[in-house]
């Protein structure tokens, strides 16, 4: 079996997308394993889940640090555990551009909108206010600009008449839990190539190299 890619997951709260990734990695055929869960908040609920799953945890507080110093501390914690991919899962802290560049095309985020629409916070309120009929979520490589970067995967859900923010959020979150493990799998298998501001998704041949079109 091909060596599994080592992943660090960054959270600030309950880490529901982190949990979805953990569940995916329980499959021995999954091409990645989570080696550490890192939070900037000591009371993040997801830390207990990670510990219960036997995953190492780190707390890297941001208080008292400027963005560059916090980015350096995060980088040190990630490298300490030998991770070579980083997944953001509800990490509510703007990242230092230097950190983002150091992990370019190895730093992944999930966002609860169909990017490039509705970047930033309050995505569900923005979608409802705009009257869109389709909403959804996006997994993308991270860039220094907020919620920008080449898109790896997206999923859409209908916006129903009378939807509340909570109802729409729940419908979208279920899709986040589905496509984040899929996107990480694609990246870990080496099937995602970045060209400018977009990604090309290929299929690996028997040796693990990219082949397009793929054979049956």
Peptide bond between residue 134 and the one before it cis (omega within 30 degrees of 0): no
Query: Which of the residues 62, 70, 81, 111 is marked catalytic?
Result: 111
Q: In the Cβ-directed half-sphere of 196, how many Cα atoms lie within 13 Å?
A: 1
Contact 157, 196 (CB under 8 A): no
Q: What is residue 131's three-state secondary structure?
A: coil
β-pairing, 56-59 vs 32-39, is: parallel
Catalytic residue check, 111 = yes
Which candidate, 175, 173, 203, places its Cα nearest to that of 190?
203
Eight-state DSSP code of residue 163: -
- State the DSSP code for 164: -
Strand partners, 174: none
Alpha helix (H) residue ranges in 5-122: 16-25, 45-52, 67-80, 97-102
Asked whether 5 and 81 are in contact (CB, 8 A), the reply is no
Active site residues: 111
């Amino acid at each position: 079996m091909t060596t599994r890619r080592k992943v660090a997951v960054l959270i600030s709260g309950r880490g529901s997308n982190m949990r979805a990734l953990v569940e995916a990695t329980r499959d021995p055929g999954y091409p990645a394993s989570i080696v550490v869960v890192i939070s900037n908040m000591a009371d993040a609920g997801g830390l207990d889940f990670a510990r219960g799953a036997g995953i190492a945890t780190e707390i890297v507080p941001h208080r008292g640090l400027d963005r560059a110093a916090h980015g350096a501390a995060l980088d040190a914690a990630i490298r300490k555990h030998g991770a070579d991919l980083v997944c953001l899962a509800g990490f509510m802290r703007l990242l230092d551009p230097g950190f983002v560049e150091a992990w370019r095309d190895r730093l992944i985020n999930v966002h609860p909108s169909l990017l490039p629409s509705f970047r930033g916070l309050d995505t569900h309120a923005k979608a409802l206010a705009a009257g869109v009929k389709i909403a959804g979520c996006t997994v993308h490589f991270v860039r220094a600009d907020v919620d920008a970067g080449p898109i790896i995967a997206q999923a859409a859900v209908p916006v129903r008449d009378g939807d509340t923010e909570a109802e729409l959020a729940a419908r979208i979150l279920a899709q986040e839990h589905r496509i984040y493990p899929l996107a990480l799998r694609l990246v870990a298998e080496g099937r995602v190539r970045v060209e400018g501001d977009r990604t090309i998704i290929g299929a690996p041949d028997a040796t693990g190299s990219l082949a397009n079109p793929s054979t049956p």
